[in-house]
Amino acid sequence: MGQDGNFYQQQFCVLSNTHTPDEAALIMIDKFLDGKYCGDKSTFWQRTHDFWLSPFLLKLSADAINHSSFVLALSKCFQCAVPVDEYLIEQVVNKAPNSVLSAIRYSGVVSSTPVESLELWLKALSGDAKCDDFIVKFKAIQKELQELDNDAKKRLTIIQSILVTDLLMYGARYIFEFVLPTSINKQHILIHSWLVVNSLLKDNLLNNTKQRLDITEMDVVKAAKKVFMSDLIHHPSPECNKQYQLFIDAYSTQSALINFKNSIVDEFCYNDDADFFLKDSLVFIKEEQTSEKDNNQNHKLLKLNTYWQLRALDIFANSPYANQQIGLAENNDDNQVAVFLSMTAELQLSHLYGIDNSISLAPNVDVNVFEALLAMNLTSMFYQKHFINEYLSLVDELGNPSKALASFMVNGLITLGENRFPLTFSKKKDKINRFIDWTVNEKHPNGSRAAAKAIVEFWSHDLKNTALRLQNNSNSLMPMLNEQPMLVLNNMVLQMPWVSAFQNNMLAAVNNLRRVGARRAQVKSETQRIEYSLNKAFKTQDVITLASFHPFKHADNDPGEIDLICAHGNDVLIIEVKSSFIRQGRKQSWLHKSNGLRKAGTQITRKVAAIKSLLQDSKSFKNQLGVEKSDNLIVTGLIVDTSIECDHQYFNGYLKVSLEEILIALWDDAYYVTLEEDISNNTPVKTSLYNNGFSLSKLIHILNNETVFE
């Protein structure tokens, strides 16, 4: 099995002096999952290989093997394809075959080519009816995915020499001609189209290394003339027709691959509730597969969206915008909606993500958050009204998307003298000038060019910089089309109306800052503001709090910094706060659950134990919390997260709730949480969650029972 001297075995032996074998093993499993190892420069494969050589794994009970942490550790074994002693395989399969099936799913190896180490596990599983059924479906998914992937790669190779400007224009043209006319009310199809074009763009920036990205305005005009004007308005160009067809083929195969990954592979790997069946050797997910958990989450999101809009409605009603015309008279209604949506998003960004009213983009360059949101919401309104709606009206009138698109572009050029192409483009300085009017304030009554420039920078995605990063590391993060919708090439800004018209600009701003900009210097201070906001909400209820408290480290036991400790009456609440970006899709949600939230569960376990010990032993600590006696105290741990994923699930025995839910409960304005469709006519009846006064025990009861959403 290996040497007794490896890191994990040594640590296990030390822990065995004070813990049962299973307890010690689970602690070591969590250390492995958290990346703890003897060497700082070790690779993931080295850590995984060493861990699975640990002899203590041979003696685990069925309970330990069924533990969620062991299942995750086993999934890492499959990811790395590390060899495992056949006796250990036999022990694990015999004691907990379901754990092995889950680990195989979670590992994502269904997306990989078969390896010998996995085949040993599958062989050990065979013979059981449930396991055999799993293996058949696993191999069917693996086979179909490989075929789709090969087909997509083949088509991508053919179009890898297409210039990035041409690629984006073919993509925009395709969406207008083939997606918008049939999918205008199908948000999931529109989002899928973003994913496909984003994937094609990433491949182009990664592999078309010889293309020139320092383009001029004339380069973009020539590309637009070739892609849009030649074929749709004048005489068809054989070369353009050929390239467009090659793009359509690549789009179709990439679309099929992404759809299969999202609807079958990710559901198979990361949705424990999903059920599949075989038909003609292909795997399908059963109809009406949306789980109760998914339905509950969607229901909550609707209620929370209404909550923030009702909060913003009060702010809007008391603002100067409510009683004045905004912009031209014919645009006033749309502009008011844009202002209102920007106020709603600003509220959420401030309270949930700690985003200040201005953000530093570079030394001496700050962007005003409200102005950045307003500029993009106005852009969305403009594209919705003057691009999407007008084009679709022509489709209805003419009955042919291609003819409608040609007419739409000509009308824009001749009647308006403006670009009405499916992809808009302008010089950066012209884009900045368009935003100046929306930076008017007391300090800048005529607007500010510097502020407008900062807004453009905030929403910009420099494709040349991304190409260089991808070519140095193909796994580098790339913004999604909606996160930074202004695509910059040299001094030109390209934008997709079909993305900007439909994107959720609050989500776009959060993920621009917290996913794409996760390494910004301001992230730490934003996280501190999130904790401060929660702390302040507790204090309004006369709760005694301690923020960022770090108990003394004892021997090897370091509880770490505790985000927030709250005391009121006989209750003490220990809170672990987690913050990041807004996740989309089954895989991202599962990764958050298995990494960040799982780790939060182990962290708060240590912290609760440390605080219980302090309450027993430290009189000064009890005085800090206003606690006189410790015998009858109830100490509760709670995980609070900016995301709503995995809400009301337990991690290491501790409840996880969203920051929104606990803030609403503390602010005692759950009466805003309603599903009224017309929020402008909705007047919530003010009722309290705490009829006989606030207490932490009541708050905990409210959170446990999701009373906020009733």
Give the three-class secondary structure for 531.
Answer: helix
> By the 8 A CB rule, do 247 and 171 touch?
yes
pLDDT of residue 675 exceeding 80: no
pLDDT of residue 212 exceeding 80: yes
Structure tokens at 259: 């759809």
Mean pLDDT of 77-96: 93
In angstroms, how far is the first alpha carbon of the chain from the final one? 55
Mean pLDDT of 236-249: 90
The predicted pLDDT at position 2 comes to 42
Residue 518, Cβ neighbours under 10 Å: how many?
12
Structure tokens at 270: 């990361």
> What amino acid is encoded at 266 in this protein?
D
Q: Please write down the long-range contacts of 223-229, taking CB distance under 8 Å and 24 or more positions apart.
A: 223/163, 223/165, 223/166, 223/169, 224/169, 224/421, 224/423, 224/425, 226/166, 227/166, 227/169, 227/170, 227/173, 228/169, 228/173, 228/409, 228/421, 228/422, 229/409
pTM for the whole structure: 0.92
The predicted pLDDT at position 4 comes to 47
29: confidence class by pLDDT, cuts 50, 70, 90? very high
Residues 32-52 have pLDDT tens digits of 999 888 766 788 899 999 999
Residue 499: CA atoms inside 13 Å, Cβ hemisphere, count?
A: 25
Name residue 651's beta-bridge partners.
654
Residue 240's nearest CA partner among 217, 255, 253, 223 is 223
Structure tokens at 433: 């000038």
Buried b (16+ CB within 10 A) or exposed e, 208-227: beebebebeeebbeebbebb
Mean pLDDT of 194-207: 96
Q: Is 297 exposed, middle or buried (0-12, 13-18, 19+ CB in 10 A)?
A: middle
Give the residue, 691 or 363, on which the prediction is more confident. 691
From 356-360, 515-519, 553-557, 631-635, the region with the lowest mean pLDDT: 553-557
Share of the chain above pLDDT 70, in %: 96
Buried b (16+ CB within 10 A) or exposed e, 397-434: eeeebeebbbbbbeebeeeeeeebbbbbbbebeebbee
